Each structure stands twice: as structure tokens, then as C-alpha cells.
Amino acid sequence: MLACGGSRISHQNLGSRFCSTGIFHLSSFTVKPPSSAAATVAAIVDNNSHNPRFHPRFVSSSSLQSKSPGDIPFPPVSFSQREDEHEKPSEALSSVAGGIVALGKFDALHIGHRELAIQASKVGTPYLLSFVGMAEVLGWDPRPPVVAQCDRERVLSSWAPYCGNVAPKEFQVQFMSVRHLSPRQFVEKLARELGVCGVVAGENYRFGYKAAGDASELVRLCDEFGMGAYIINSVMDRHQDARNMNRLDLKDRGQVSSTRVRQALAEGDMKYVSELLGRPHRLLLTIKDWESLTSTSSTQRMSAPRSSLLNLPPKDGFYENCSLLFGEQNAVTCRVSIDTSHIHLEMDRVDFCDNDYSQKSQVLGIEFGELKS
């Protein structure tokens, strides 16, 4: 069976997962072998049934709410790097060559983004393709990221148990370099410049200049350029009916999104934020000196200006049962207060006294408990 521009997938040891109809049944993920023209998706799985119903050129995961790493099936084969149908990838951009690239806006790195990486890992080496400089090019107002830039690798590493023990890597492309590309030119860039073997995208994904291309167009173009295209259902917010957070956004159909994460942070609902992210929200701040550190017989207190924050904090207020992460030290239980100008931390002296304050600049992490009313 051909895959990724002429490389072959072995049928050995497939057992019952390869049936006479030529379909791999991989629980929540279903792949149809490529035609002689291309490796293109050909099935969609009904989320409410164990029996897949097939429609041309699409594939979806089941509920897309991954329960645990052990519940995720993985195929015995993967697509290998193309060798003969496409031009040799550029040396400067070859780190994703042969990989399966997840497409999207990966601001919050939430559970929907994680699901894209999971599906990519089932057919190859997973990557996230991120665009750099969108705000500047499009004239958006600057805003802090949900995940600090220096913390993104840690988050992606935490996805490894869900992705066949492979941590997805992030590949960044300057948005200016692709902004004016038509949908066809964008897919051609993926295939010929980057050497990508396949792409994974959500059902609402738009791409190309002025978002002219949709998921169906992505599948068609990937077919043309010999790449696999895997379109998956959105991961839905289980609390969408109760919250109705974004009724004015026509793109919001109740799916988990970075916008929902930002809104939940603005409300200070840290339990809900954790559900959307699949992990506690971690706020990072840079401490340039320790002059603000004060002590009593039982507590340590510290304050830092909001300008020291590296990513988006939650709503102003007082948070109990938080965790302070200091380098490689064990987490320290603390209380956090955020106001319009500063963030204040208080922790038990016995828990914090062993830390080294000799370095002038250090990055601290805070994972939040519940907002006190």
C-alpha cells in the first residue's frame, strides 16, 4: 500500500485491524489507505456509535475527550517521508520533513489542541505548526499569551503519554511569509518546502489568504500534493449549555477554544480553566531581585509588579491553596493576591526557607487554587 508520495506501508502483523474492505479500524481513529494518486482520508466515525459510518475524505476521533493515556489506540504503521514525488525540502525548514503537522492557532494549548497532536501521533511524528507575528501583521492589540513562551515545551512534553510517548514539537513559521498565500500555495509550501507527510486539522479550520480555504479544500489540495489529510471533530466544551459564553461569536459552536480559556481566566474560575486546558494554569513571573521578600516568624511574603508576568493571569482577587514552583524545588503551598498593579504571594516560612535567593533573576511558577469570594 502506498503512503506519502510512494513509500509503502507493510500489511504484516495487522491482524484483525485490517479487513477485506481495506480500512484500518483503530477505535476512535480511522484511516483509509491512500489511492494511487494520494494518501487521503476517507472516513468519519460516528461519535455516538461503535460502528463507523464512512463518508468521503474525512476522518474524526470519537468523543475526542481522551480519558487517559492508556485508553488511546495506536496503529502499527506510520507514514514515512516522501522520497520521489516532491522536491527536496529546504534545509532550513526540514525539521518537520516526513512528519504529520497539526494546523491551528495554538495559543492556549488546550485539550482540543492536544487532540490534534494525538491524532497526528497515530500516523507519524507529531508537530504543531504555529505562526509567529500574527498580531503585529494584522494590527491586533498586544495581549499576554495564555502559555508563557518559555513554558510551551513543558506543556507539549506533558502530552507525550497521550501521543505514544512522543512529545509533539512546535515548528514556527513567520506569519508574514504565508499571509498572502492562496490555499493552494499554502498546501504546496507544506508539501514542497517543508516536506510534510500529512496534516491534521479541525473541522472548522480555515486557511489561505483571507481564510479562503476550508477543511474540504484542505483535503482536496492535500490529495493533489500527495499528503494525507486528517479532519477531526471539534472537542466540545461539556459546560457550554450552562455557560453560553460566546453567543455573539459565529465561530463558537460550543467547542473548546483559546477564547473560552481567556474568558474563564477573566472570571477567575480556575477549576473550569483546568478542565479546558487539561492541566492547571501556570502563571510565570520573573523576579529580578528579592528586596520585596519579607519574613515573619511563620510566613514569607513577596510582591512583584504585573510587568514581571510572562503570561495571562486570572481575575484580580485572592486565591487560596495555590502552588509556588521555584526551579527544581518541590511545590510550595501559597496564597496569592492579584490587584491592578502587583501580585502578592504568602507562604509558610518553613516551606520556603531552603530556597536559594542568590541569583538576581529567577522565574517562578504559580498554579492556582480557587478564587475566594
| Strand-pair partners of 285 | 309, 364
Q: pLDDT per residue over 183-229, tens digit each?
A: 999 999 999 999 999 999 999 999 999 999 999 999 999 999 999 99
Going by C-beta distance under 8 Å and a sequence separation of 6 or more, which residues neighbour residue 224?
38, 184, 187
- At 47-61, the pLDDT tens digits run 333 333 223 345 444
Report helix, strand and coil shares of the chain as percent, to nearest 5.
25, 25, 50
Report the SS3 class of residue 136.
helix
Provide the terminal-to-terminal Cα distance of the chain, rounded to the nearest Å: 61
Rounded to an integer, what distance in angstroms lies between the CA atom of residue 298 and that of residue 316? 26
Listed residue (138, 143, 149) closest to 178, CA to CA: 138
* Range from 63-77, 105-119, 215-229, 234-248 carrying the lowest mean pLDDT: 63-77
SS3 100: strand
Residue among 15, 49, 48, 17 at smallest CA distance from 31: 17
- Give the per-residue pLDDT at 160: 98
What is the identity of the amino acid at 318? F
Residue 294: its pLDDT value, please? Answer: 74
Highest average pLDDT, of 48-62, 120-134, 277-291, comes from 120-134
CA-to-CA distance for 208 and 371, rounded, in angstroms?
A: 41
Q: What is the pLDDT of residue 169?
A: 96
Helix (H, G, I), strand (E, B) or coil at 50: coil
Average pLDDT over residues 281-305: 81
Q: How far is 338 from 67, CA to CA, in rounded Å?
A: 33
Lowest mean pLDDT among 243-252, 326-335, 354-363: 243-252
Are the C-beta atoms of 212 and 223 separated by less than 8 Å?
A: no
pLDDT above 70 coverage of the chain, percent: 66
Closest CA to 261 of 371, 142, 146, 145: 146
Q: How far apart are CA 190 and CA 199, in angstroms?
A: 9
Cell representation of residue 266: 477573566
Q: Distances in Å between the alpha carbon of 216 and those of 59, 182, 206, 221?
A: 11, 15, 10, 9
CA-to-CA distance for 10 and 25, rounded, in angstroms?
16
